[in-house]
Amino acid sequence: MKPLIYLLALAAIFSISACETDSYELPGETLQGKLIDPEGEPLITEQPNGFRIRLLEEGASQFYDFWGKADGTFRNTKLFPAKYTIYPFDGPFFPVEPVERELNGVLTVDFTVIPYAKIQASIVEEGQNINATFQISKAAGAGKIKDVQLLVTKWNPNVGMYCKDWNVANDLSGIPDVDIQNTTHTLALPGVLEKGVTYYARVAVLCENTLGRYNLSPITEITVD
């Protein structure tokens, strides 16, 4: 009889332990901010694969990364309070010096980045065609300008290198960068426009870099009436 009593007692103990409420709190601190260029303009990028933010908690050895947004902003609301080393990376810009910040509540950290290139573009509808006229300026020390593309999507506003329905490219690898920057360029996609449809278009330029990241112009919305 005694072994049965012991077994029942052990079962009761395990049952009570299993019903205890987990007291661990979920992370709830917020890190937010934006990337801007030296002129104070937001970094124009894309989503996905635009840029990432890297965190290293004080005393830790494992990095934590998360993706930023296409407009150059970033926000993460599920972090533990701690002191972190923070910096942006994996984007079309030169390396950025890390900063150390204490996270407790809501922390805003903005970074100034130098894009490899900037694009001034005008993208317009002409009949059934999409025509882009643009100029490219390259940052000092950036890699060779390799190519430029006109990217277009139908209905989807997230147009970019990883989201496009049409594109047309121009190989610039054999042209000196000084000539590229002193030229007004044009690219066209003929016969793609349909009535009653909204399109999104932008220009992308590649300066040679190990990640193969493109710099992009702002998105132009074209609605065909």
Domain boundaries of the chain, sorted by first residue: 29-112, 117-223
Q: Is pLDDT of 5 > 50? A: no
Q: What is the chain's mean pLDDT, rounded?
A: 91
Cα-based distances in Å from 5 to 10, 13, 74, 212: 9, 13, 60, 70
CA pair distance 88, 35, nearest whole angstrom: 8
Q: Summarize the confidence of residues 113-141 as an average pLDDT.
A: 98
Q: What pLDDT band is residue 21 in, cutting at 50, 70 and 90?
A: low
pLDDT value for 1: 46
Q: 166-171 and 145-154 as β-strands: parallel, antiparallel, unpaired?
A: antiparallel
Q: Summarize the confidence of residues 68-96 as an average pLDDT.
A: 97
DSSP SS3 for 181: helix
pLDDT value for 61: 93
User: Do 111 and 89 touch, CB atoms closer than 8 A?
Assistant: no
Q: Summarize the confidence of residues 60-85 as an average pLDDT.
A: 96
What percent of the chain has a predicted confidence (pLDDT) above 90?
Answer: 86
Q: Summarize the confidence of residues 187-202 as an average pLDDT.
A: 97
CATH class of the domain defined by 117-223: mainly beta
Q: Is pLDDT of 13 > 90? A: no
CA pair distance 120, 176, nearest whole angstrom: 19
DSSP SS3 for 27: coil
Q: Is 1.10.645.10 the CATH classification of the domain at 29-112?
A: no
pLDDT value for 4: 42
Q: Is pLDDT of 47 > 70? A: yes
DSSP SS3 for 17: helix
User: Do 180 and 137 touch, CB atoms closer than 8 A?
Assistant: no
Helices (H), the chain: 2-19, 177-181
Q: Which residues pair with 152 in a beta bridge?
A: 166, 201
Q: Summarize the confidence of residues 153-160 as an average pLDDT.
A: 95
Q: Is pLDDT of 23 > 90? A: no
Q: What pLDDT band is residue 101 in, cutting at 50, 70 and 90?
A: very high
CA pair distance 43, 118, nearest whole angstrom: 10
